[in-house]
Amino acid sequence: MKKQNEMRSLALTLFIITAVTALLLAFTYEGTKGIIADKKTRLTEASLQEALPRATSFTPMDVPESDLIKQAFTVMEGREKTGYAVIAYGDGYSSTKMVLLVATDMDKVITSVTVLENLETKGIGTIAASQWYLDKFKGVKGSIGEEVTSISSATISSQAIIECVQNVLDFLSEVKV
């Protein structure tokens, strides 16, 4: 009987500790989710401005729900539309997604590709995020085709970038100018 009471007491204590911890986590999440969202927005804006320094504003575009395209913007220089900027995901070698920013002119010709997030294997997968490789996408319109090929030592990571950029081009092909 004494052991049963001890077990019940321990179970109740554990339940109370778990419940209090869960409540504290919930309150912490509620208290910080706005701050985190604001920080993500500022980081996105900073990334857009860094990739497109002449732009004066970025007007959000409607994006269909997708695992491929995160956000899209019409790029403005003053009152003139000068292109598009699309933030997209790619599945690399690691279990996390690569995040790319692809910028185009109004004719949907790629002007730059920037890696915003890359957790690929250092020294192998990160080769695909090198500027010399990303610059190969400049000038591509419609379909990548054979213009850009995978890097033999970073096949999966470079193929993820190719597919991600192609997904952006496919998305933009549906956009009416």
pLDDT at position 152 over 60: no
CB count in 10 Å sphere of residue 33? 10
pLDDT, tens digit, 9 for 90 and up, residues 59-106: 898 888 877 888 899 999 999 999 999 998 877 666 567 788 999 999
Q: What DSSP designation does 141 have?
A: B
User: Any idea which of 73-77, 96-100, 111-115, 170-174 has the lowest mean pLDDT?
Assistant: 96-100
d(CA 146, CA 177): 27
Q: Which residue has the higher pLDDT, 79 or 161?
A: 79
pLDDT at position 15 over 90: yes
Residue 12: per-residue pLDDT: 93
Let me know if 87 is exposed, middle or buried by CB neighbors in 10 A (0-12, 13-18, 19+).
Answer: buried
Mean pLDDT, to the nearest integer, of 128-145?
78
Q: What angle do CA 150, 154, 165 make, to 5 degrees?
A: 50
Residue 149: per-residue pLDDT: 59
d(CA 65, CA 70): 8
Residue 117: per-residue pLDDT: 72
